[in-house]
Amino acid sequence: MLVADINGGPGSSFPMWLAVHDGQLFFSADDGVAGAELWAYDDGASLAADISSGPGPSYPGGYFTVFDYAGGLVTYDGRLFFQAVPSSSPGLWFYDADAGEAELAADVSPPEYLTIYDGRLFFAASGSGSGNELWVYDAATGNATLAADIVPGSGPSFPQFLTVYDDRLFFALPNPSDGYELWAYDAAAGAAAPVAETLPNAALSFLTVYDDRLFFAVDAAANGQGLWVYDAATNTAAPVADVLPGRMIVYDDRLFFGADDGITGQELWAYDVATGSASVVADVNPTGGSGASPSAVYDDRLFFTADDGVNGRELWVYDASTGSASMVVDTNPGTSNGNPSGLTVYDDRLFFASWDDADGRELWALSPSSGTANEPDIQNSFALQAVPNPSRGGAVLRLVLPAAVEATVEAFDLLGRRVAALADGLMPAGEHTLRWEPAALSPGVYVVRVRASDGHTATQRITLLR
């Protein structure tokens, strides 16, 4: 449900960089008066700090799009640190909740990829005559210093996707002559060095720790792309899956991400270290890519954004216990996008920014079990499960509907062609079982999709064996 309409009416406050600090939810927002400034939510939203003092914005956390990964708010030394760009003093800022004030911590270019490592705050920034390099702020001294001048002088190295792994700080580093490389900064040695090269002229992104290894995306237009892994134990990097992942999240002992294999379009994938393979786990839009992107783990389930081709881009959930995906809430009913973003767990609820045509882009929240019309009970949301799966000869489909609706249940192949119509009509609330006996179909992977008249949908992949 909508929990704070900060800009009022159809105007948007554009909440960004949601983060929990000192028992409150902090974020950047624009109320239409002070500009984009630091706000806090605790049983209501209020302006925490007007850094630019007046209508001019300071953009705490960053002024890029809501889908950017370089900015953000980070708790360090009991304070909330972030980049801010007021016209007077752009740089690294912090907010002290006890004092209720924001102060400039370091006069550097707006810092990006703020990451805590070795008891200090590291980030990428420019300052004191250096280009964009690796910097560090130490609360003990209150000073920011250059940690590694990788390209000496005024030339930049642009460290990106800072991630702590193996007691080192890893990051992707563009090499002007040969694409990106994987680097690491070692606090014990006080130096940064390259640790692995991938493909020539390749871009590295989305560094994520999983299974005691460092996974990342490699995109080389002329040489291939895929999911790669660096293992500190062997000091080697190698590809593990021939798909290009987006943002990655660990859930259910697997690594989840959005990817496009050239067949299903971009859908929700998972890499399982137990099998050493990656596969699609939710084909939200069987007739085209849904642009699935995992965003947060909450209520023991994985929440992600996707466009099923019917309801626009909205909030979905994948449940590992059932292996099924369903839309949770349609913040902007109809075919228009809500584009939920910034999913953050606070006060046992899932907060996020989303759009609806009446209120603009504002702050929303979802509870695990509310039972109200405006805030869906996700414990009783649409659920679709196939048993057995994989199946030989047939499967039983278990469908749970939270309310009576007109619904269609159809099966598609991976090319988006409908191969079976299993149900079409009014279905009462509760659990339903449907028998699917695809005797004439070839072995392979198929997708069963439920579409309801109230806009809800659910999908389930079924593997048919000989």
* Distances in whole angstroms, Cα of residue 385 to Cα of each of 11, 157, 272, 404, 447: 41, 49, 21, 19, 11
CB-based burial of residue 370 (10 Å sphere; 0-12 exposed, 13-18 middle, 19+ buried)?
A: middle
More confident call, 286 vs 187: 187
**What is the pLDDT, as a whole number, of residue 9?**
72
Say if 455 falls within a structural domain: no
Q: Which of 459, 141, 463, 165 is CA-nearest to residue 287?
A: 459
**What is the pLDDT, as a whole number, of residue 223?**
72
CB-based burial of residue 81 (10 Å sphere; 0-12 exposed, 13-18 middle, 19+ buried)?
A: buried
Q: Is the pLDDT of residue 375 over 50?
A: no
Q: Is the pLDDT of residue 58 over 50?
A: yes
* Distances in whole angstroms, Cα of residue 371 to Cα of each of 304, 347, 429: 22, 18, 14
Residues 7-46 have pLDDT tens digits of: 987 789 999 999 999 999 999 999 999 999 999 999 899 9
Query: pLDDT category, 296, cuts 50, 70, 90?
Result: very high
More confident call, 254 vs 56: 254
User: Residue range 250-268: average pLDDT?
Assistant: 95
Q: Is the Cβ–Cβ distance between 157 and 181 less than 8 Å? A: no
Residues 377-418 have pLDDT tens digits of: 444 456 777 767 777 777 888 788 878 888 899 888 877 788
Say if 399 falls within a structural domain: no
Residues 104-143 have pLDDT tens digits of: 999 999 999 999 999 999 999 998 888 999 999 999 999 9
Q: Which of 38, 29, 73 is CA-nearest to residue 344?
A: 73
Least confident stretch, 80-94, 101-115, 257-271, 390-404: 390-404
Q: Is the pLDDT of residue 75 over 80?
A: yes
**What is the pLDDT, as a whole number, of residue 382?**
64
Residue 399 and residue 18: Cα distance in Å, rounded? Answer: 35
Say if 322 falls within a structural domain: yes
Say if 421 falls within a structural domain: no
Say if 28 falls within a structural domain: yes
Name the percent of the chain lying above pLDDT 90: 61
Q: Is the pLDDT of residue 427 over 80?
A: yes
Q: Is the pLDDT of residue 370 over 50?
A: no
Residue 148 and residue 339: Cα distance in Å, rounded? Answer: 38
Q: Is the Cβ–Cβ distance between 447 and 433 less than 8 Å? A: no
Pull the structure tokens for residue 200.
Answer: 């020539």
Residue 47 and residue 33: Cα distance in Å, rounded? Answer: 11
Say if 425 falls within a structural domain: no
Name the percent of the chain lying above pLDDT 70: 93
Q: Is the Cβ–Cβ distance between 317 and 381 less than 8 Å? A: yes
Say if 269 falls within a structural domain: yes
**What is the pLDDT, as a whole number, of residue 143?**
96
HSE-CB for 98 with a 13 A CA cutoff: 3
**What is the pLDDT, as a whole number, of residue 213?**
98
Pull the structure tokens for residue 283.
Answer: 């084909």
Domain of residue 87, residue span: 2-380
**What is the pLDDT, as a whole number, of residue 354?**
95
**What is the pLDDT, as a whole number, of residue 466?**
65
Q: Which of 123, 126, 188, 197 is CA-nearest to residue 162?
A: 123
**What is the pLDDT, as a whole number, of residue 64?**
61
**What is the pLDDT, as a whole number, of residue 230?**
96
Mention every residue, 6+ apart, whose C-beta is less than 8 A from residue 465. Answer: 390, 391, 392, 443
Mean pLDDT of the residues in the chain: 88
Q: Is the Cβ–Cβ distance between 226 and 241 less than 8 Å? A: yes
Residue 1 and residue 51: Cα distance in Å, rounded? Answer: 29
Q: What CATH code is carried by the domain that includes residue 275?
A: 2.130.10.120
Q: Is the pLDDT of residue 376 over 60?
A: no
**What is the pLDDT, as a whole number, of residue 176?**
60
The DSSP H or E segment spanning 272 is: strand 266-272
**What is the pLDDT, as a whole number, of residue 450?**
86
Say if 430 falls within a structural domain: no
The length of the chain in residues reads: 466
Taking the CB of residue 69, how many other CB atoms lie within 10 A of it?
A: 14
* Distances in whole angstroms, Cα of residue 105 to Cα of each of 77, 95, 98, 139, 332: 12, 10, 17, 10, 40
More confident call, 38 vs 201: 38
**Total structural domains in the chain?**
1
**What is the pLDDT, as a whole number, of residue 373?**
31
Least confident stretch, 332-341, 352-361, 411-420, 456-465: 456-465
